[in-house]
Amino acid sequence: MNSEQYSLLVSKAQTQVKISVKALDAAHAQGQALDIARSLEADRFELGYGIAKHNKLSELFEKLAYNDFDHKECYDWQGSLVNKVPAVYTLNKRFYVRPLILGYLDISKDAVVKNVCKNPLCVNPYHNQYLHEKNSKIGGGDLQMLLAFRSQGASVPQIAKALNVHRSTIYRILKDERFSSGT
């Protein structure tokens, strides 16, 4: 894989940080710059040629850009921790790594990230489940499956078995006004 080095200057208020970006070409670098700026909630950014200091944050963004995660193996965060949770400090703000990944992947900031591998240091996006609320038992994809099964006339016990949850979970979701239309 032939890649080029870029330097991304991300700004928020009066604070700036340079992030190393490795990309296949200028278009790939520009896409990464937009994703990184969105995830860091930046006001503006400038992308240029050159080398910036490579750190844990740029390493994470590079792995995300190249989808360099194994479905089976954990990717343990080697950076800083806050209360044993992976975090990074940049732009005068603390960012927890899993929600930072949400922003990069353009998954709703309202989503709650649940680590399913039970490894507190793992930040592999394939080991996360993205839920619509904190105590939810199913993620966004499973919610769509639930609604599809229901629209096809599947019974609540059938849906519960397919999604590997208790039928009371299905009843509770179907009772919720946000998801009851069309059922």
Model pLDDT, residue 27? 92
Read off the pLDDT band of 183 (50, 70, 90): very low
Listed ranges 11-15, 115-119, 139-143; the one with the highest mean pLDDT: 11-15
Residue whose tokens read 């996360």: 128
Alpha carbon of residue 58 to chain centroid: 15
How far is 87 from 149, CA to CA, in rounded Å?
38
Per-residue pLDDT of 113-129, as tens digits, reads 878 888 999 999 988 87
Residue 45 and residue 36 in contact, taking contact as beta carbons nearer than 8 Å: yes
Least confident of 17-21, 26-30, 42-46, 100-104: 100-104
Per-residue pLDDT of 1-12, as tens digits, reads 678 999 999 999
Q: Catalogue all structural domains in the chain, each as residue range(s) with its CATH number.
A: 4-108 (no CATH), 140-180 (1.10.10)
Sequence-separated (6 or more) residues with CB below 8 Å from residue 149 = 158, 159, 162
Over range 20-31, report the average pLDDT: 93
